[in-house]
């Protein structure tokens, strides 16, 4: 898959939630994780981040929104239940993206939303856990940006596997 992505949180207050998010990010191949003004120590998540993400993926901690320093050309995408947000199933993921989710009992700050080039929402009846929302988002990115065999019309898996790159990635057949 071309490009890269990172995922992070703003003002997170529950270590289990951020640990689960970071573990999922590691599993989905995130290139970095980050936290903006966290209310917990994001470097001490042993109970919920059993993959020890920070040992394998860069972890950035920004004390304030003004301190955010993303790679050049990286698009900031907020994930929030806002009326004006794009619905995730209709959203095209940027090639280079940093996704940010809000705190457990709140939403992304207006200052952070103003910095986002895009805001997406997961079409649920009510908000879901931060770790769950992040996993859904990353799975959607994988499905839409990855190279997988087309789904068959009927139930079941594909009848033909996609061609693979030397590095293990998928390539469309020509």
Full pLDDT tens readout for the chain, 174 residues: 789 999 999 998 888 888 899 999 999 999 999 999 988 877 777 777 888 888 899 999 999 999 999 999 999 999 999 999 999 999 999 999 999 999 988 899 999 999 999 999 999 998 899 999 999 999 999 999 988 888 888 888 887 766 554 444 544 433
In DSSP notation, 50-112 reads TT-GGGTS-EEEESSGGG--PPTTPEEEEE---TTSEEGGGPPPPSEEEEEE--TTS---HHH
Strands 4-10 and 96-101: parallel
Contact call for residues 61 and 42 (beta carbons, < 8 A): yes
Cβ partners under 8 Å of residue 145, min gap 6: 1, 2, 3, 93, 95
Cβ partners under 8 Å of residue 100, min gap 6: 7, 8, 9, 10, 34, 36, 76, 77, 78, 79, 108, 112, 116
Which pair of tokens denotes residue 30?
Answer: 């995130």
Which pair of tokens denotes residue 59?
Answer: 């972890």
2, 155, 166, 172 from 101: Cα distances, Å: 23, 34, 34, 32
Instruction: Specify which residues 8 forms β-bridges with.
Output: 34, 100
Which CATH architecture does the domain made up of 4-146 adopt? 3-Layer(aba) Sandwich (3.40)
């Amino acid at each position: 898959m071309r490009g890269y992505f990172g995922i992070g949180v703003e003002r997170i207050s529950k270590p289990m939630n951020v640990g689960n998010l970071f573990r999922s990010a590691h599993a989905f191949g995130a290139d970095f994780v980050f936290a903006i003004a966290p209310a917990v120590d994001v470097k001490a998540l042993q109970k919920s981040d059993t993959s020890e993400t920070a040992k394998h993926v860069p972890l950035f901690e920004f004390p304030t929104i003004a301190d955010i320093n993303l790679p050049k050309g990286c698009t900031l995408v907020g994930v929030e239940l806002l009326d004006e947000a794009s619905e995730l199933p209709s959203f095209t993921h940027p090639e280079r993206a940093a996704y940010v989710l809000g705190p457990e009992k709140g939403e992304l700050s207006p200052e952070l939303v103003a910095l986002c080039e895009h805001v997406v929402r997961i079409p649920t009846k009510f908000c879901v856990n931060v770790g769950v929302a992040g996993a859904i988002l990353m799975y959607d990115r994988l499905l839409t940006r990855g190279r997988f065999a087309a789904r068959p019309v009927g139930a079941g898996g594909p009848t033909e596997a996609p061609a693979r790159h030397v590095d293990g990635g998928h390539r469309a057949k020509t």
